[in-house]
Amino acid sequence: MAPNDNVRVDGLRSPVYFDAVPFVLVAVLLVLTGCSGPFPQSVFAPRSDFATELDGLFWNVFWWAVAVFVIVETLLIVAIVRFRARPGAGAPKPVHGHTLLEIGWTLAPALILVFIAVPTMRSVFATAGHAPEGALRVEVIGHQWWWEYRYPTLGISAYNELHLPVKTPILVEMTSGDVIHSFWAPGLGGKRDLIQGRTSRIAFRPDSTGEFLGQCAEFCGASHANMRLRVIVESDSVFQRWIDRQRGAPATPAQGSPEERGQQIYRRSACIGCHTITGVSSAKVGPDLSHVGSRSTIAGALFPNTTESLQRWIQNAPALKPGALMPPQNLSGEDLDALVAYLQSLK
């Protein structure tokens, strides 16, 4: 390319940036492919009154921002084109003090701010954690790096997977067992910090059944990103069956079965120092395992609850989840098989 190719006769540089248009288009296309879904943690699929409130507020602010952008950019482009430098034109005439304009551009942003601030304040109060009478209370305790859920009125607890009945108001009371965490299930509610010695609240009413993924949203150490959560919203009858199962005693292995051998291994290994299985052990450092077989995931909702992931998890938890407190267990293949079979039998 000759050095003067981009220079027009009148001395102004030609718009070189047009050469970049194809690249920009390709980049935009690539970015847009990210919009093809599915989005398990999207805030744009609200499934509770709380999430719908936030979604409405977001779109309100978004459309104001779009309007401001369009107006400002249009005026800018008009000004650039209309008042651009032309060869031979004299110096432009400056304008000082235009009362109408001054009032206009002071009032318009002030009014827009009012239209944004009023619904924002309304949403802040609407999501402040006030639950109607008769709401189901759930206590959430954040741990490095797993979630404990207690249902004080039902006398049961759950771990990492929060089961809730559909169309029922829920009051979530949150605190932390160690550092600050943040509960966030985008489809339903949050984000709200969990702070040791304090109780933070959110209230919501799930409006459809399904599994909702969530995530700890406050940096809390090495496995912050691995501190996932699941909310399983069920019909009343399914929720009741789940309650009944959690209330029941853990399964007792049959004599001479691999599960019984697994229970013996559990009793004589480090497991009992940290975990509870009702009637077998009662330590509270890690999650209660009395019904671990009834969960669909393990390790902070990180891995599917399968034989393979249970084995890998028991063998070397810190390798799968940095910072995990459970030390690697040195078990022979047979012992490991038996232990896993026992844990899986705890439905």
Nearest-10 Cα torsion for 328, 332, 335, 340: 50
Could you say whether residue 193 binds ligand CUA (CB under 6 A)?
no
The size of the interface with ligand CUA (CB under 6 A), counted in residues, is: 9
| Interface residue with ligand CUA, options 47, 163, 181, 261 (CB under 6 A) | 181
Residue 251, Cβ density class (10 Å: 0-12 exposed, 13-18 middle, ≥19 buried): middle
**Part in contact with ligand CUA (CB under 6 A); list of ranges 68-76, 155-163, 212-220, 234-242:** 212-220
Q: Kindly report the number of other CB atoms within 10 A of residue 270's CB atom.
A: 13
Could you say whether residue 205 binds ligand CUA (CB under 6 A)?
no
Helix, strand, coil shares of the chain, percent, nearest 5, are: 40, 20, 40
Q: Give the containing element (helix H, strand E) for 281.
A: strand 281-282
| Interface residue with ligand CUA, options 220, 265, 339, 340 (CB under 6 A) | 220
CB of 169 or CB of 177, closer to ligand CUA: 177
CB of 182 or CB of 263, closer to ligand CUA: 182
Q: Give the containing element (helix H, strand E) for 50.
A: helix 49-82
Given a contact cutoff of 8 angstroms between Cβ atoms, the answer to whether 314 and 301 are in contact is no
Could you say whether residue 218 binds ligand CUA (CB under 6 A)?
yes
**Part in contact with ligand CUA (CB under 6 A); list of ranges 84-92, 113-121, 216-224, 333-341:** 216-224
| Interface residue with ligand CUA, options 44, 62, 83, 219 (CB under 6 A) | 219
Task: Please state the closest distance from residue 6 (CB atom) to ligand CUA, in A.
Answer: 52
Given a contact cutoff of 8 angstroms between Cβ atoms, the answer to whether 145 and 179 are in contact is no
Residues contacting 303, CB < 8 A, separation 6+: 297, 309, 312, 313, 320
- Distance (Å, whole) CA 287 – CA 238: 23
Residues contacting 205, CB < 8 A, separation 6+: 48, 49, 50, 167, 168, 169, 170
| Interface residue with ligand CUA, options 140, 164, 203, 216 (CB under 6 A) | 216
Could you say whether residue 300 binds ligand CUA (CB under 6 A)?
no
- Distance (Å, whole) CA 293 – CA 270: 20
Of 118, 138, 135, 119, nearest to 192 by C-alpha is: 138
Task: Please state the closest distance from residue 149 (CB atom) to ligand CUA, in A.
Answer: 15
* Residues numbered 128-167 forming contacts with ligand CUA, rule: CB under 6 A: 142, 145
Residues contacting 2, CB < 8 A, separation 6+: none
Task: Please state the closest distance from residue 188 (CB atom) to ligand CUA, in A.
Answer: 18
Task: Please state the closest distance from residue 180 (CB atom) to ligand CUA, in A.
Answer: 8
Could you say whether residue 227 binds ligand CUA (CB under 6 A)?
yes
Q: Give the containing element (helix H, strand E) for 317.
A: helix 317-320
Task: Please state the closest distance from residue 216 (CB atom) to ligand CUA, in A.
Answer: 3
CB of 227 or CB of 265, closer to ligand CUA: 227
Task: Please state the closest distance from residue 273 (CB atom) to ligand CUA, in A.
Answer: 23
Task: Please state the closest distance from residue 181 (CB atom) to ligand CUA, in A.
Answer: 3
Task: Please state the closest distance from residue 162 (CB atom) to ligand CUA, in A.
Answer: 15
Residues that bind ligand CUA (CB under 6 A): 142, 145, 181, 216, 218-220, 224, 227
